[in-house]
Amino acid sequence: ALDETEKIWFNGELIDWKDAQIHVLSHVVHYGSSVFEGLRCYDTENGPAVFRLKDHMKRLKDSAKVYRMDIPYTIEQLCEGVKDTININKIKSCYVRPIAFRGYNELGVYPLNCPVETVIAVWAWGQYLGEDALEQGIDICTSTWRKMAPDTMPNMAKAGSNYMNSQLSKMEATMNGYKESVLLNYSGNVAEGSGENIFLIEDGKIYTPDLGSSVLRGITRDTVITIAEDLGYEVSQEIISRERLYLADEVFFTGSAAELSPIRSIDQIQIGKGKRGPITKKLQDALFDIINNRVEDEHGWLDFI
């Protein structure tokens, strides 16, 4: 169950958790008309800080733009909303879930006559892929479900409806005993996990599917590309075939919830030495040093509460 906090930000007001409700005939309940974000606040050595807050709020507005959804708050107001929600709940380390959705008015598919509601909730949430995932790595499978073709649903918008696709692949993986799955795209090449971007390492060089591969423009993806380049690694964004994952020296997932999780096998094929690889470890260490403010925040990614 969710680790409830006291207050939820609902259209600009902080109300009790239990009162943050909507009608069952709201447009979003029927047609999946929502866009959302997932980010984290870390209790750093220098106090609580939200990681890449502005970038997440910008992506929320971008996702809304694709769906012609007018969120009546600026990026700055949304950032303040996140900070206010964390503050009032007196929580130092948490997951943050901002969401905007079509509310209650009419129930035709046409959405533009329904009000847009905006909500921000926070709660404590541990490592998404399990406590051991960061060190031990996880076993994953290739999904039989593919990512939406680019002319069906916009993969780059973080919309609630996209997660019906994610749910299908996550259920399949779980029922077959895997922690997570990797989905191929319409052309049969590698896209991403059900809630993560994917990277591979070959001969010391780092690769991840390009933005035309039907992936979310992951903020952790961008963070890891930046960190890797800062450390002197070459990073290539390109089309990646399925078998390159099997043959890679190291493979890992990135995401705000999953952070940087090594993958030790795919479809029961061992990846590299079958455990977290040295470059993955180096990137993880660099990421956690930044997130926990143990090194200078040279990219301005931390927003202190």
Q: What residues make contact with ligand PMP under the rule CB under 6 A?
A: 38, 166, 192, 195-197, 216, 218-221, 254-256
Q: State which amino acid sits at residue 42.
A: Y
Check 83, 158, 170, 179 and give the catalytic one.
158
> Looking up tokens 């997951």, which residue turns up?
95
> Which whole-number Å values give the CA distances from 188 to 34, 197, 216, 241, 263, in the listed order?
28, 16, 17, 8, 20
Nearer to ligand PMP by C-beta: 26 or 63? 63
Tokens at 105, concatenated: 């008015």
Q: Are 301 and 41 in contact (CB under 8 A)?
A: no
Q: State which amino acid sits at residue 141.
A: C
Nearer to ligand PMP by C-beta: 89 or 254? 254
- For the bound state, the minimum distance from the C-beta of residue 255 to ligand PMP, rounded and expressed in Å, comes to 4
Nearer to ligand PMP by C-beta: 86 or 216? 216
- For the bound state, the minimum distance from the C-beta of residue 227 to ligand PMP, rounded and expressed in Å, comes to 13
**How many whole angstroms separate alpha carbon 160 and alpha carbon 52?**
21
58 is catalytic: no
Widest Cα–Cα separation across the chain: 57
> Which whole-number Å values give the CA distances from 144 to 10, 66, 169, 212, in the listed order?
38, 28, 7, 20
Nearer to ligand PMP by C-beta: 7 or 40? 40
Q: Are 255 and 220 in contact (CB under 8 A)?
A: yes
Nearer to ligand PMP by C-beta: 44 or 197? 197
Supply the DSSP string of 136-169, one letter for each residue. H-EEEEE-SSPPPPTTTS-TTS-BTTHHHHHHHH
- For the bound state, the minimum distance from the C-beta of residue 181 to ligand PMP, rounded and expressed in Å, comes to 11
- For the bound state, the minimum distance from the C-beta of residue 16 to ligand PMP, rounded and expressed in Å, comes to 28
Phi, psi of 130 (to 5 degrees): 105, 150
Residues assigned a catalytic role: 158
